[in-house]
Structure 1
Amino acid sequence: MKKKKLCLLLIVCSLLLSGCWDANEPERLVYANGFGVDYKDGKVIVYVQIINLGSLAKAESGAGGSTSKADVGRAEGHTFEEAIFSLYHTSDRRMYLGHLSFVVFSEQAIKAGMLEHIADFLDRYRETRYRMYFFATKDSIKDIMLVSPIENISLAFSKLSDPHDNYRQSSFIPPIDLRELIINFDEPPHQAQLPLLQISKKWTAQDGPKKELLIEKAAIISDNTLISILPKEIMNGARLTNEEFIRDSLYLSKRRNADVSVLIYDKKLKIKPVVDKAGKVRFDIKLKINANIQMVKEQETVNALKKEISQAMRAEVYRTYHFTRKQKIDIFRLSETLYRDDNKTWKKVQKNGLVPLEEDTIKSLSINVQLKNSGKMELGPIIGQQQDRGDQK
């Protein structure tokens, strides 16, 4: 009897449970992969890239089919939120922002002060995560968001959605996500570096030229204002002080012909502030890095190559420093180093978080190059310079 009553009670209780009746089924949602933000004639223009996550699952299971297609919506309003809700009105289903991977800002949007406002909005919104990457561009945002990755892979693996994979192979300009952006704005020197996207046509498909995204420049933002866009030759020196640096190639600038190819990796960097009796702050920079010789056309010695590699890196660092300091850009984040190592001195010398950057602020630059490998352990060409052993007697 007790068992029957217990079963009856369980049945009644189960009828009162709502279960998942109010849940949103994944296949019934529209997934936003990225935002684009532009500004024109006093209005905010928002682009949203929608991708089909179902096709991504098919590609991973080997079912085939095209996975690189995307739809891009466009709306405008007096504020970012107004433009977003205008896009909501055109969507067939609820738009889910939990998989948002990137945000691209036009030069006009950054100059209009949109970056910090939108970063604040995305940080507060309940669905978004910190793993979304920020970019700047001078090109058409719509065209950038419609670029399909090479090999027809999914847009979830594109340079916009997953930039770290490409950066691990060539560590030139590091990606910056929402968390890092907030930290850079909050801590000295209160400057952030956004990779600048360009549309390039260096690849060709069977049906003709193919567009792809190129990152060789960086936009520097401080106090919600665009300070400068740094070109490739200036960013060469900046990569050597990036904490996330993994590996990249090095150009030996003193040579007329590129007859030596060098790969640099395993960087160790130490920046130490030095304060003299007058209270002037300078910095000692010590850089230790490994190098591999990838190509050589003439016979070389180890010491000569190590010296030349060191000189090339030294030239890049000083060229970058002197170019950026004139624009009051602390590209090596020396202000942050002093802020953490000697906060008392930093408070005395800083102005808006930035320490004085002068001609001799870098007191010393020590570069230790370890030549680890030269391919087949030969510091000379493999073909064309060897003596013919058949002629030996």
Structure 2
Amino acid sequence: MKKKKLCLLLIVCSLLLSGCWDANEPERLVYANGFGVDYKDGKVIVYVQIINLGSLAKAESGAGGSTSKADVGRAEGHTFEEAIFNLYHTSDRRMYLGHLSFVVFSEQAIKAGMLEHIADFLDRYRETRYRMYFFATKDSIKDIMLVSPIENIPLAFSRLSDPHDNYRQSSFIPPIDLRELIINFDEPPHQAQIPFLQISKKWTAQDGPKKELLIEKAAIISSNKLISILPKEIMNGARLTNEEFVRDSVYLSKRRNADVSVLVYDKKLKIKPVVDKDGKVRFDIKLKINANIQMLKEQETVNALKKEINQAMRAEVYRTYHFTRKQKIDIFRLSETLYRDDNKTWKKVQKNGLIPLEADTIKSLSINVQLKNSGKMELSPIIGEKKGR
């Protein structure tokens, strides 16, 4: 009798146990690697790039094979959500967004005010993560998403999916992910800097020219509007104030471009707000940076090179500041510095989070260049250095 009661109790308890009837097998899902968003004729156009995680595993294990083939889907709707669901209707399997790595916006989509709306959608969606990077472009989004990395590198390691690896080698325009985008919009000066993509044909494969992605410009967005697209020569000065700056080259005067190549790294930046007696806010900027000589054609002294590097960097910073301030762009985020260091003064002078940016807002700019070494040699050219001896 006891055994029957025990068996009955086990049967009843088993009915309360949860099963895996609603589980999704990983190999039966379609994995979205990136979204593209365009806007045309009053409709939202959404592109999705699909990644094959099976081929990624083969590449990491050394099994070889083609790993960079991309499939791109397209759908449109009156809203972003409608376009997404229309995209679902054409997918063979359930589309999983947990591995979403990037979102590319067309210039028209940004002008239509879609960036903040879609960022809000991606932030709320349960599957997505903050590690997805944002880009802007004028080129065809479909063509950008069909660009395959060099040497059959997996799509998960492409310029779009993993931009930090390239940035650590040449810290020009920093990548921005969903978390950083939200912070930039929420905090003064409420402006975000997004890398601007272009399709380049500077690489060549065995079967002809090969398309690759080039990032030399930045789109500045504020209040869900596109303010400006800053060119390379203006972004040169902005890179030196980026918190994530690792290393990059600095061009000297045009007379010296072919003579000296300089690599700068290990940047230490300090920006201090100074309030004058009349209430005007200005800033003291101190920059300490190390430099290495990468190429040298003529023998030079340490002091002469340090002076010329200092002058080149100073010119870059001032050129960038004066160009951007005229467009009401706080490229050095001086408004945020004042907001954190002297909130009371910031409240008095700010307007919509942005403080007045005038010609003399930068009170002083101190650049301390430490010339660490010149590679394996002294400060003289390798070839021909003994001719005068």
Sort the TM-score into its range (normalised by shorter chain): over 0.9
Q: Distance in 2 between matches of 1:156 and 1:132?
A: 12
**1:372 equivalent in structure 2:** 372
* Partner deviation per Cα, 1:341-366 (whole Å, 9 max, x = no partner): 00000001001110000010000000
Would the aligned equivalents of 1:252 and 1:258 in 2 still touch at CA under 8 Å?
no
Would the aligned equivalents of 1:237 and 1:316 in 2 still touch at CA under 8 Å?
yes
Shift of 1:201: 0.7
Q: Distance in 2 between matches of 1:33 and 1:212?
A: 18
* Partner deviation per Cα, 1:145-167 (whole Å, 9 max, x = no partner): 00000010100000100000000
Shift of 1:19: 2.7
Would the aligned equivalents of 2:67 and 2:155 in 1 still touch at CA under 8 Å?
yes
Shift of 1:70: 1.2
Would the aligned equivalents of 2:294 and 2:374 in 1 still touch at CA under 8 Å?
yes
CA separation of 1:257/1:240 partners in 2, compared to 1, >3 Å: closer, same or farther? Answer: closer
Shift of 1:2: 7.8
* Partner deviation per Cα, 1:183-234 (whole Å, 9 max, x = no partner): 0000000000000000001111111110000000000000000000000000
Would the aligned equivalents of 2:251 and 2:257 in 1 still touch at CA under 8 Å?
no
Would the aligned equivalents of 1:192 and 1:221 in 2 still touch at CA under 8 Å?
yes
Secondary structure of residue in 1 paired with 2:83 = helix
Scaled by the length of structure 2, what TM-score is found? 0.97
Secondary structure of residue in 2 paired with 1:63 = coil
Would the aligned equivalents of 1:237 and 1:320 in 2 still touch at CA under 8 Å?
yes
Q: Distance in 2 between matches of 1:286 and 1:7?
A: 78
Secondary structure of residue in 2 paired with 1:139 = coil
- Which stretch of the first structure deviates more once superposed, 187-196 or 256-265? 256-265
CA separation of 1:2/1:167 partners in 2, compared to 1, >3 Å: closer, same or farther? Answer: farther
- Which stretch of the first structure deviates more once superposed, 257-266 or 288-297? 257-266
Shift of 1:257: 4.0
Would the aligned equivalents of 1:346 and 1:355 in 2 still touch at CA under 8 Å?
yes
Q: Distance in 2 between matches of 1:315 and 1:189?
A: 24
* Partner deviation per Cα, 1:323-350 (whole Å, 9 max, x = no partner): 0000000000000000000000000100
Secondary structure of residue in 2 paired with 1:210 = strand
**2:14 equivalent in structure 1:** 14
Q: Distance in 2 between matches of 1:64 and 1:254?
A: 46
RMSD after superposition: 1.7
Would the aligned equivalents of 1:251 and 1:258 in 2 still touch at CA under 8 Å?
no
Would the aligned equivalents of 2:306 and 2:370 in 1 still touch at CA under 8 Å?
yes
Would the aligned equivalents of 2:203 and 2:211 in 1 still touch at CA under 8 Å?
yes
CA separation of 1:257/1:162 partners in 2, compared to 1, >3 Å: closer, same or farther? Answer: closer
Q: Distance in 2 between matches of 1:292 and 1:7?
A: 79
Shift of 1:386: 1.0
Q: Distance in 2 between matches of 1:176 and 1:236?
A: 18
* Partner deviation per Cα, 1:125-171 (whole Å, 9 max, x = no partner): 11100000000000000000000000101000001000000000000
* Partner deviation per Cα, 1:54-93 (whole Å, 9 max, x = no partner): 1101111122111101110111111000000000001011
- How many residue pairs were aligned? 388
Shift of 1:253: 2.1
Would the aligned equivalents of 1:271 and 1:337 in 2 still touch at CA under 8 Å?
yes
**1:390 equivalent in structure 2:** none
Shift of 1:248: 0.4
Q: Does 2:124 correspond to 1:124?
A: yes
Q: Distance in 1 between matches of 2:280 and 2:318?
A: 20
Shift of 1:17: 3.2
Would the aligned equivalents of 1:76 and 1:86 in 2 still touch at CA under 8 Å?
yes
Secondary structure of residue in 1 paired with 2:254 = coil
Secondary structure of residue in 1 paired with 2:255 = coil
Shift of 1:9: 5.4
Q: Distance in 2 between matches of 1:230 and 1:56?
A: 36
**2:302 equivalent in structure 1:** 302
Q: Distance in 1 between matches of 2:223 and 2:193?
A: 12
Shift of 1:4: 9.6
Secondary structure of residue in 1 paired with 2:197 = strand
CA separation of 1:286/1:3 partners in 2, compared to 1, >3 Å: closer, same or farther? Answer: farther
Secondary structure of residue in 2 paired with 1:255 = helix
Q: Distance in 2 between matches of 1:199 and 1:17?
A: 55
Shift of 1:14: 4.6
**1:169 equivalent in structure 2:** 169
Q: Structure 1 regions of 5+ residues with no counterpart? A: 388-392
Would the aligned equivalents of 2:296 and 2:380 in 1 still touch at CA under 8 Å?
yes
